[in-house]
């Protein structure tokens, strides 16, 4: 979910309008629309709703990879894609986490892991915008940050299935709550990696800011 797009034509001419409707951008629009769809599926109180929520989240997560990949491969980078891509990512993650907290799937001490993830996402986005506006500096996405994003999405996927998956496994195994436990474990691992990658980004950002210090 760390945006790696770049663009070369920020104009709003004919080319800009055509790029706004390119497949990579359409995938990004779809990810934005997946947010209310996720909320709707989650609020329908039955076991199937959990699986539908997971399906919506999975489709949106997969599109996150393909929109950036296709934009680079087809040279269809655009300003609107660069702007919307990180917004769509953070809306999706924040909405999923809030739903899981509201439902009680994430609670007690695990709430801290969700808070850490949200604080990091908002803070790093603010840092990037500040540096880009002040010094036209882009903060590169690290490999570890990409691994963190993948693990974070997997954790949320497990938690969205949560009780529905636990109930399904109950018929074959003991009532261990496997989906919920695995999801919470991965959420904590993601939160710990989030702290490190967030520190790494801010360390790089402060270095750029200190260059202008007297």
110-142 pLDDT tens trace: 999 999 999 988 888 777 777 766 666 666 677
CA dist 197 and 180 (Å) reads 25
pTM summary value: 0.80
Is the predicted pLDDT of residue 17 greater than 60, yes or no? no
CA dist 212 and 214 (Å) reads 6
177-208 pLDDT tens trace: 788 889 999 999 999 999 988 887 787 777 76
Domain layout of the chain by residue ranges: 14-210
Q: Are 144 and 1 in contact (CB under 8 A)?
A: no
CB proximity list for 131: less than 8 A, separation 6 or greater: 137, 138, 139, 205, 208, 209
Determine the CATH number of domain 14-210. Answer: 1.20.120.1760
């Amino acid at each position: 979910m760390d945006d790696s797009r770049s663009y070369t034509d920020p104009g709003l001419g004919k080319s800009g309008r055509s790029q706004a409707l390119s497949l990579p951008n359409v995938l990004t629009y779809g990810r934005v629309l997946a947010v209310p769809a996720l909320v709707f599926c989650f609020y329908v109180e039955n076991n199937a709703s959990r699986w539908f929520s997971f399906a919506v989240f999975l489709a949106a997560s997969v599109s996150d990879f393909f929109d950036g990949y296709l934009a680079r491969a087809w040279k269809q980078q655009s300003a609107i894609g660069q702007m919307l891509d990180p917004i769509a990512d953070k809306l999706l993650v924040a909405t999923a986490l809030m739903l899981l907290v509201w439902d009680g799937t994430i609670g007690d001490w695990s709430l801290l892991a969700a808070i850490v993830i949200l604080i990091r996402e908002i803070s790093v986005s603010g840092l990037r915008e500040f540096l880009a506006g002040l010094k036209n500096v882009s903060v590169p996405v690290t490999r570890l940050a990409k691994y963190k994003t993948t693990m974070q999405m997997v954790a949320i996927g497990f938690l969205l299935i949560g009780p529905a998956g636990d109930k399904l496994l109950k018929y074959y195994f003991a009532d261990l709550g496997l989906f919920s436990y695995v999801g919470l474990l991965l959420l904590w691992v993601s939160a710990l990696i989030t702290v490190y990658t967030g520190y790494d980004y801010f360390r790089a950002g402060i270095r750029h800011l200190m260059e202008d210090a007297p």
